[in-house]
A and B are shown apart, each in its own frame.
Chain A
Amino acid sequence: MSDTMSDAQARQLPHATSTGAAIVVDAAKSDRPRSLGSDAWRELRRRPLFIVSLVLILLFTLMAAFPQLFTSVDPTYADLNRNLQPPKWENWFKFGVDGQFGYDILGRDVYARTIYGARASIIVGLTTVLGTTILGGLVGVIAGYFGGWLDSLLSRFADIFLGVPLVLGSLLILSTFASRAHDNPSAVKIASLVIIALVALGWPVFARIMRSSVISTKELDYVAAARALGARPSRIIFRHVLPNALAPLIVVATISIGSYIGAEATLSFLGVGLQDPVVSWGVMISGGITYRNVAPHLMLFPGTFLTIAVLSFVMLGDAVRDALDPRLR
């Protein structure tokens, strides 16, 4: 009996699993349609942190695009008679007046400068992330999809750039190129240099994520089947690999916007990033630190804005990750 029984078992096992799979598919059909994306979206809308961070990010983006909506005061207008004057609390929530956040050493309006400072941070943050995502994503896809010696080569190459710490490396790049440029470089040029430096050192992180997503997706049965049927690499990458890899990439990209905004400010603080007369939070904070004993508002207001901006992107990334990774709920 035991022989026939174990034979029966052997046959029953695959049968049992196939009904199991059928159950999953049917349940999905009979219930209302639920994909990871729509599930994540439903989950996200429930989260106050997500809503708050999204609103804040929209606000900062608006500030960067149309600072005139928030203040009508010229951020570069200097009046030495009012230098280092403290904030005028009574002027808060009034449009068209100045002094809400006090005045800096040259008597410029700190509130107007803080509003205008959003532009540099947002532009640097977004452009850098765009650059790292594209460059890193491309390298990651190539390394992961084609594998072999190309993968080893690209991975070692990424390791080399990962070996240089972000702030240290960009400090080096910026100081080298800035010392070469004898003329006074324009704000656009310095901002581009900052972006290039951050992209040059930041792409390997994205390449690694993309590479591992591609490798794990490549192993999936339906992708292997598509390859066996002779689908072109571009089709497989766009149809199967990218949609699967997108989730982790979005999360890291969102959080990275925050950290690049912080890095830009740090470089300004170290004296190699954007410089006065460019208006940026980093420039304002590093300028304000000198006077913090007599006029702490110079540092506190741009510092608060910077922190909230970074916080919103980190929180948004967090919320998206939690929504996409149900295990950690």
Chain B
Amino acid sequence: MGRYVLRRLLQAIPVFIGTTFLIYLMVWGLPGNPFAGRCGQRPCPDAYIQRMTEKYHLNENIISQYFWYMSHLVRGDFGETFTGVSVNSLLAQAFPVTLRLAIVAIAFEALIGIVAGVVTGLRKGRFIDNLVLVSTLFLIAIPTFVTGALLQWVLGVEWGIIKPTVSSEARWSELIVPGFVLASVTMAFVTRLTRVSVVENRRADYVRTAVAKGLTESRVTGVHLLRNSLIPAVTQLGLDLGGLMAGAIVTEGIFNIRGIGGMLFMAINRQDSALVVSIVALLVLVYLVVNLIVDVLYAVLDPRIRYE
């Protein structure tokens, strides 16, 4: 088990370096004046150019630039925007909001996705199965920004059930509808994943063995079948946590939530490159850490993995 975790960790390091380098390259490494169009509509302030060049060695080649950038990053310094605000303080405000939104979304995914998946898996081919399957198709097909805009308009404007935009505190109760919107597509995937898994495992030999042991139906389904069927769904839920934070950009934009996504959206529009790189690096880091946790979780859930 320890060796398995260590191996996964070692595999994640080059991916992290590669991905962040790729992003760094895309933002800073293109030929031409690095500060052209880097500070919004106006040219960059000289003081900022000087500070950045000194700190990140922007006059050297791209590899050493990246090296200096990372050396600051691993010490927890995400740099500063061209207006001189520390990125760390911005992230400290925005990150908890996005995390909360992602948690609400994951809760929807787990609750609705798994329950619907198990129910349809056990009733394969019946009316409820077809109903849920068609619903998941629609959830997958409607782009998030359409779902979000529609729900905001119907629930917020027409019916007045919710406030159309989320306040700056971003309380849990305000995040229910945005969380649902964020989860809509992945929820459908978790439903289908769980369903397929239940359908496959239902005919598995070990389920037949459990019946032959004279266990009650609820024990056969609730313990033997579910424990195996939920492994892929739980893994998927973990992976989604990282993806949902990145995907929050659309949802946060629509509901005016002041999270990472909203901030990134603004940073891109204002062409504040330092902020963009830092946010994306953070999101990639979260994504990789969550991936690692999921791998470990997977090994805990499925004992066969540990010995592969």
Q: In the complex, what residue of chain A is closest to B276 when comparing beta carbons?
A: A172
- Contact across chains for B268 and A258 when beta carbons are under 8 A apart: no
A175 contacts which chain B residues (CB < 8 A)? 268, 271, 276
Main secondary structure of the interface of A (DSSP, over half): helix
B16 contacts which chain A residues (CB < 8 A)? 163
Is A176 in the interface zone, CB < 8 Å from B? Answer: yes
Q: In the complex, what residue of chain B is closest to A174 when comparing beta carbons?
A: B268
- Contact across chains for B287 and A165 when beta carbons are under 8 A apart: yes
B93 smallest CB distance to A (angstroms): 20
Is A43 in the interface zone, CB < 8 Å from B? Answer: no
B153 contacts which chain A residues (CB < 8 A)? 292-293, 296
A33 smallest CB distance to B (angstroms): 28
CA distance A175 to B143 in the complex (A): 21
A306 contacts which chain B residues (CB < 8 A)? 143, 146
Main secondary structure of the interface of B (DSSP, over half): helix
CA distance A327 to B246 in the complex (A): 35
Q: Which of B14, B27, B246 contacts A176 (CB 8 A)?
A: B27
Q: Which of A167, A307, A318 contacts B146 (CB 8 A)?
A: A307
Is B283 in the interface zone, CB < 8 Å from A? Answer: yes
- Contact across chains for B280 and A168 when beta carbons are under 8 A apart: yes
Q: Which of A160, A262, A285, A328 contacts B15 (CB 8 A)?
A: A160
Q: In the complex, what residue of chain A is closest to B287 when comparing beta carbons?
A: A163
- Contact across chains for B199 and A272 when beta carbons are under 8 A apart: no
- Which one of B48-56, B75-83, B133-141, B172-180 is at the interface? B133-141
- Which one of A82-90, A219-227, A232-240, A309-317 is at the interface? A309-317
Q: How large is the interface on B (under 10, 10 to 19, 20 to 34, 35 or more residues)?
A: 35 or more
- Which one of A18-26, A68-76, A129-137, A263-271 is at the interface? A263-271
B280 smallest CB distance to A (angstroms): 6
Known: A160-B18, A165-B283. A270 touches B141 (CB 8 A): no
- Contact across chains for B30 and A176 when beta carbons are under 8 A apart: yes
- Contact across chains for B26 and A176 when beta carbons are under 8 A apart: yes
CA distance A292 to B150 in the complex (A): 9
A194 smallest CB distance to B (angstroms): 15
Residues 237-291 (chain B) with a chain A CB within 8 angstroms: 242-243, 246-247, 249-250, 253-254, 264-265, 268-269, 271, 276, 280, 283-284, 287-288
B interface residue numbers (CB < 8 A to A) = 11, 14-16, 18-19, 22-23, 26-27, 30, 32, 36-37, 137-138, 140-146, 149-150, 153, 157, 196, 199-200, 242-243, 246-247, 249-250, 253-254, 264-265, 268-269, 271, 276, 280, 283-284, 287-288
Show 9 A/B contacts (Cβ-Cβ < 8 Å), sorted by A. A156-B14, A159-B15, A163-B16, A168-B247, A265-B145, A285-B145, A285-B149, A307-B138, A311-B141
4 interchain residue pairs of minimum CB distance: A160-B18, A165-B246, A311-B141, A163-B19
